[in-house]
Amino acid sequence: MRRGRALLAAALVLALGGPAHASPDERELGRTFLLEARAELPLVADPAVREYVEGIGNRLVKVLGPQPFDYRFFVVQDPSLNAFSVPGGFVFVFTGLLARVKNDDELAGVLGHEIGHAHAHHIVRMETQTMGWSAAQLLGMVLSAVNPVLGAGAVAAAQTAQLKYSRDFEQEADYLGLRFTSEAGYDPHALGSFFKTLLADQQVNPTSVPAYMLSHPLTEERVAKVDTIIGAEKLKTPPGRPAASPALAEVRAVTRAIAGPVDTVVDEYKRQAEQKPDDAGRQFLLGRIYQTVGQLGAARAALEQAQKLGGLGERVDRPLGTVYADLKMPEQAEAALGRYLGRHPDDGYALLQMGKAQAAAGDDDGALKELERAIIVDPDLEEAQRLAGLALGRRGNEADGFYHLALASRLRGDLVQSLSQFERAAPLFATGTPRKQEVEQAIAELRPIVAEMEREREAQRRRGRSGLDARRGR
Ligand code: ZN
């Protein structure tokens, strides 16, 4: 995690050199953070999980009106109970937290609070308030929110500086988050009930403090203040709230399967399905569990059973089509995905699976067309970029092949590889074309980051050797 530190530090200095609300620099800082963090933050690719979080997040963002930056939501594949945002509107929520929320409103409360931190520029303002901190410490602080072990271990200078918001900033984020959630039609009380769950857990098990409570310090007083704000601002609970959309049960199944232990989670969902064998919903969740842990044969059986029992509409088609594509059963995959795409023609994930199914059937042209459509809808689909790059390379289109492979490597956080692929693509595009420009910009962005990474690696190697020498008493 050390790599790129100086670059990010430079970005911070830029951000801090201007006024506290220097939004373009915050956007830049957030983007650099995302580029570097992707290698350390495994993001969830499951479309149901992504759509659930993005749906609630985007509904909250709508009430903000025009903003200096676009908000983006990411789900980190990590069992710890955590959520954080970085400057520039990048909001991260961990699967460990998703597995614990009881309804949509609790997640809206958490996301609203994170939007509040980004909206009020808290991280940047923290630095300006405590002038004693170096920019490197500030970076270490952000990294330690990503992964307390990695952050503290890797950035020695920042060992004590874990991301920890002040009481004032927590209250401001609570205040803003409560207003956003209420205006977006969610129950503002859900934030308080989520906090109460965390505090109750804490009393039962005082030794394990969730990462979320370390960065967002939680006290009885703060929880009481949430109720005070709701009363003072006359925030209403909309009719029918709080409520859990059907997607939440699916999200909980997938996130619990990711967190494991696999046997325990499989057994639990299997038992529930066996108790009510005619319940399509329970078969569906069992199928999603098996799919997530990679037991594809069992996933296929459960999802087919859910489909047969009926009543779930199109929800079964996308995961079932995905399982068929992974099992190299192209005919069945194309039928299920075709049904889904008939209703959702712009679903990037389903287009990607359709491309894989057609490749399995030996239709390379058809496969490439589907992959290219998937990329247009969702350029962040790493697998679509990678498969399109390989397919283009196979047919001799080296320029576009390397271009898509470079994008895929960047999405995986493999920046050295990405830079090298962009550099191979660059001379193959004609001067003045938009793609040539895009490739040159990507190279200009990646070169200093990669150079810094190499300097860091070299320095670490030297430090490692001198540490060894010291231990040997030389
Ligand atoms: Zn907070």
What secondary structure does DSSP assign to 335-361, as a single string?
A: HHHHHHHHH-TT-HHHHHHHHHHHHHT
Residue 338 lies in a domain: no
Q: How far apart are CA 411 and CA 379, in angstroms?
A: 10
Domain ranges, residue 74: 2-233
Lowest average pLDDT, out of 75-89, 151-165, 435-449, goes to 151-165
Residue 217 CA, ligand 1 centroid: distance in Å:
7
Mean pLDDT of 320-341: 97
The predicted structure's pLDDT at residue 378: 96
Q: What is the CATH number of the domain that holds 439?
A: 1.25.40
Residue 213 CA, ligand 1 centroid: distance in Å:
9
Residue 342 CA, ligand 1 centroid: distance in Å:
42
Listed residues 182, 207, 233: the one ending a domain: 233
Residue 144 CA, ligand 1 centroid: distance in Å:
15
Residue 473 lies in a domain: no
Residue 169 CA, ligand 1 centroid: distance in Å:
7
Listed residues 178, 202, 233: the one ending a domain: 233
Q: What is the pTM of this model?
A: 0.87
Mean per-residue pLDDT over the chain, rounded: 86
Lowest average pLDDT, out of 177-181, 195-199, 335-339, 380-384, goes to 195-199
Residue 95 CA, ligand 1 centroid: distance in Å:
18
Residue 369 lies in a domain: no
Residue 163 CA, ligand 1 centroid: distance in Å:
10
Residue 173 CA, ligand 1 centroid: distance in Å:
6
Q: In terms of Cα–Cα distance, which of 312, 320, 244, 314 is closest to 278?
A: 312
Band (pLDDT 50/70/90 cuts) for residue 163 is: confident
Residue 142 CA, ligand 1 centroid: distance in Å:
13
Residue 377 lies in a domain: no
Residue 254 CA, ligand 1 centroid: distance in Å:
26
Residue 260 CA, ligand 1 centroid: distance in Å:
27
Q: In terms of Cα–Cα distance, which of 144, 153, 57 is closest to 98?
A: 57
Helices 382-394 & 348-360 angle (0-180, nearest 10): 40
Q: Which long-range contacts (CB under 8 A, 24 or more apart) does 163-166 make?
A: 163/84, 163/123, 163/214, 163/215, 164/214, 164/215, 164/217, 165/117, 165/122, 165/126, 165/215, 165/216, 165/217, 166/126
The predicted structure's pLDDT at residue 170: 92
Residue 461 CA, ligand 1 centroid: distance in Å:
37
Is the pLDDT assigned to residue 30 strictly greater than 60? yes
Residue 165 CA, ligand 1 centroid: distance in Å:
6
How many domains does one find in the chain?
2
φ/ψ (deg, to 5) at 409: -60, -40
Lowest average pLDDT, out of 140-144, 195-199, 220-224, goes to 140-144
> Tokens at residue 400, please?
């576009």
Residue 170 CA, ligand 1 centroid: distance in Å:
5
Residue 215 CA, ligand 1 centroid: distance in Å:
7
Listed residues 209, 233, 257: the one ending a domain: 233
Residue 64 lies in a domain: yes
Residue 226 CA, ligand 1 centroid: distance in Å:
13
Residue 459 CA, ligand 1 centroid: distance in Å:
35
Tell me if 12 sits within 8 A of 135, measured CB to CB. yes
The tens digit of pLDDT for each residue in 92-138 reads 999 999 999 999 999 999 999 999 999 988 877 776 555 444 444 55
Residue 350 lies in a domain: no
The predicted structure's pLDDT at residue 161: 56
Residue 83 CA, ligand 1 centroid: distance in Å:
9
Q: How far apart are CA 184 and CA 114, in angstroms?
A: 15
The predicted structure's pLDDT at residue 142: 66
Q: In terms of Cα–Cα distance, which of 1, 17, 25, 29 is closest to 157?
A: 1
**Residue length, the chain?**
474
Residue 79 CA, ligand 1 centroid: distance in Å:
19
More confident call, 162 vs 442: 442
Residue 430 lies in a domain: yes
The predicted structure's pLDDT at residue 139: 58
Residue 221 CA, ligand 1 centroid: distance in Å:
15
Mean pLDDT of 433-437: 96
Residue 229 lies in a domain: yes
Residue 202 CA, ligand 1 centroid: distance in Å:
17
Residue 216 CA, ligand 1 centroid: distance in Å:
4
The predicted structure's pLDDT at residue 3: 38
Residue 219 CA, ligand 1 centroid: distance in Å:
12
Tell me if 129 sits within 8 A of 121, measured CB to CB. no
Is the pLDDT assigned to residue 211 strictly greater than 90? no
Residue 113 CA, ligand 1 centroid: distance in Å:
6
